[in-house]
Amino acid sequence: DGGITQSPKYLFRKEGQNVTLSCEQNLNHDAMYWYRQDPGQGLRLIYYSQIVNDFQKGDIAEGYSVSREKKESFPLTVTSAQKNPTAFYLCASSTPGRSYGYTFGSGTRLTVV
C-alpha cells in the first residue's frame, strides 16, 4: 500500500541537541511538506519542497532545516536554535492536479527533556 511513513513516532531531545525526523513516501508525489501542530492549535507550515533539490521556507522555518535529495524522502532537522521544539510534527505530500489534496503521515511527537 502506498503512503507516508514518519519515524520515529516519539522522540525525546535534550537541550542543545539537534534531532532529525524522517519522512518517506512511496506515492510518487512531487511535493512534500512539514507542519508543526501544538496542542489545540492548527497546522503551521515549516518547510515545503516541490521538486528534488529545492525547498522553500514556510511560516515558521527558524530553527529548522530540511533536505530533499530524493523524491521519496524529506527529512526535517530540529536544531538547537529552535527554542520551543516540543510539538507534534506532521509530514505530508501531494501531486499536481485539480482535485488532489494532501496525504499526511501519522506524525512524530517531539518532547524536550
Partner 1 sequence: QQQVKQSPQSLIVQKGGIPIINCAYENTAFDYFPWYQQFPGKGPALLIAIRPDVSEKKEGRFTISFNKSAKQFSLHIMDSQPGDSATYFCAARAGSARQLTFGSGTQLTVLP
Residue 107 is a binding residue for partner 1 (CB under 8 A): yes
C-alpha grid cell, residue 40 = 489545540
Distance between CA 36 and CA 53 in Å, rounded?
Answer: 22
Q: Which residue in 11, 33, 36, 112 binds partner 1 (CB under 8 A)?
A: 33
Residue 60 is a binding residue for partner 1 (CB under 8 A): no
Amino acid at 43: L
Residue for grid cell 489545540: 40
Q: Which residue in 7, 20, 28, 41 binds partner 1 (CB under 8 A)?
A: 41
Contacts of 98 (CB under 8 A, 6+ apart): none
Distance between CA 35 and CA 13 in Å, rounded?
Answer: 18
What is the nearest approach in angstroms of partner 1 to the Cβ of residue 113? Answer: 19
Q: Pattern 67-96, binding to partner 1, x per CB under 8 A?
A: ---------------------x-x-x-x-x
Residue 40 is a binding residue for partner 1 (CB under 8 A): yes
Distance between CA 38 and CA 23 in Å, rounded?
Answer: 19
* Residues in touch with partner 1 (CB under 8 A): 4, 6, 30-31, 33, 40-43, 45, 48, 50, 88, 90, 92, 94, 96, 98-99, 101-107, 109
